[in-house]
Amino acid sequence: MNLTGEEIASPYRKWLENEVSGVPALRTDLGKFFFGVSTATLGLFVSLEKTGLKLSLDRSIIFSLLMFLLSMAVALFMVRPPVWELSSETDMFAEHDGQVERLTRFVWGWFALWLLALGPWLYRLLLS
């Protein structure tokens, strides 16, 4: 069996096209998950405040609430489908790398905001 270069490259090209088209779906799924985590964490801390502690809105809690809202906004932005066009001159490897890099920035951005939001609440719950 002698394979030509095109016969060898064809499966890789199909795999890469599936990878590039699958990144937006992964981004949407992660956005839904992160939005759920942000909302559930905020709900947990608000319920803990209502049941166990006196509710007082100082600067750190307001900052924390704002960070939770920003983390939810990042998650919602991830759910929004990206607008991009592929043409015959598009480098599929570069497009895939760009999609993965944007997804990675979204994930780290959400995680940083979520940790910033979590810090004041945990500090307050553990020291009160």
For the chain, the average pLDDT equals 81
- Interacting residues of 84 by C-beta distance below 8 A, sequence separation 6+: 95
Confidence bin at 128 (pLDDT 50/70/90):
low
User: Over 90: is that where the pLDDT of 113 sits?
Assistant: yes
Is 0.75 topped by the overall pTM? no
User: Strands (DSSP E) along the chain, which ranges?
Assistant: none
Which pLDDT does position 126 carry in this prediction? 80
With CA atoms as reference, report the closest residue to 71 among 17, 109, 26, 21: 109
Which pLDDT does position 105 carry in this prediction? 92
Q: What is the percent of the chain with per-residue pLDDT over 90, rounded to a whole number? A: 13
- Interacting residues of 78 by C-beta distance below 8 A, sequence separation 6+: 27, 28, 30, 31, 34, 103, 106, 110
Helices 92-127 and 5-52 sit at what angle, rounded to 10 degrees? 20
| d(C-alpha 54, C-alpha 56), whole Å | 6
| d(C-alpha 32, C-alpha 46), whole Å | 21
Residue written as token pair 């839904």: 32
Where are the chain's structural domains?
5-127
DSSP 100: H
User: Over 90: is that where the pLDDT of 42 sits?
Assistant: no
